[in-house]
Amino acid sequence: MKRISLMRNTVQEYAWGSYTAIAELLGNVSPAKVPQAELWMGAHPKAPSMVKCDGNWKSLLELIEKNPQDILGEKVAEKFDNSLPYLFKVLAAAKPLSIQAHPSRDQAKQGFERENRQGIPIDAYNRNYKDDNHKPECICALTLFWALNGFRKISGILTLMEKICPQGLRKELDNLRGQPNSIGLKNLFQSLMTMNRKRQKQVIADAISNAQKFTDDDKAYKWMIDLHKKYPADIGVFSPILLNLICLEPCQAMFLTAGEPHAYLDGVGIELMANSDNVLRGGLTPKYIDVPELLNVLNFKERELNILGTEQINECECLYASHAEEFVLSIISVKEDIIYNSSSDRSIEILLCTDGKATIIDLGKNDKVVVDRGKSIIIPAIVKKYSIQGNAIFYKAAVPF
Which residues are designated catalytic?
A: 281
CB atoms within 10 A of CB 209: 10
| Spatial contact of 222 and 265, defined as CB atoms under 8 Å apart | no
Q: Rounded to an integer, what distance in angstroms lies between the CA atom of residue 68 and that of residue 94? A: 37
Residue 176, judged by CB atoms within 10 A of its CB (0-12, 13-18, 19+), counts as: buried
| Spatial contact of 76 and 347, defined as CB atoms under 8 Å apart | yes
Torsion sign, CA atoms 154, 160, 163, 166: negative
The DSSP call for residue 233 is T
Buried/exposed code over 150-166 (b: 16+ C-beta within 10 A; e: otherwise): bbbebebbbebbebbbe
Name the nearest CA neighbour of 277 among 80, 15, 116, 38. Answer: 38
The DSSP call for residue 6 is E
Q: How far, rounded to the nearest angstrom, does the alpha carbon of residue 262 sit from its chain's CA centroid?
A: 10
What's the N-to-C CA distance of the chain in angstroms?
22
Q: Rounded to an integer, what distance in angstroms lies between the CA atom of residue 391 and that of residue 395? A: 14
